[in-house]
Amino acid sequence: MVVGMFFSVIGRHDVVLPEAWTAETSFGVLGRTEIDATAPPGDGATIRVFSLVGTTTIRVSEHTRVRLKGGNLVGRREMDAASGDGPEITVLACSLVGGIRVSHVA
């Protein structure tokens, strides 16, 4: 089981998850968060991202199935990674002001 928690007040926040990760939580106050979740996840893998002001981008491998939950008050939500025949990842992403994007990486 690989669990991580990250916190950023101002600036860019880049996270690369290791193989067999199971849980990741990220808090950002002001800035951009990018999470590379392309490594094979463990069972029940969950990413939780909370942002006050900023953009969150999560990259997953091309065969990953993604279940996106959460929302944002002001901003855009984009997801082009809903379907796949690989492992499932649950993403809980909440933002006050800013965008949330989940995408497959070839």
List pLDDT tens digits, range 21-70: 999 999 888 889 999 999 999 999 999 999 899 889 999 988 888 999 99
Number of structural domains the chain divides into: 1
Residue 97 sits at φ, ψ, to 5 deg, of: -135, 115
- Looking at residue 56, its amino acid is T
- Looking at residue 37, its amino acid is A
For residue 82, give its domain range: 2-105
- What is the reported pLDDT for 4? 66
Q: Express as a percent the part of the chain with pLDDT over 90.
A: 44
Question: Which tokens is 70 given?
Answer: 């959460």
- What is the reported pLDDT for 10? 82
Rounded Cα–Cα distance for residues 22 and 60 (Å): 14
Question: Which tokens is 72 given?
Answer: 């944002």
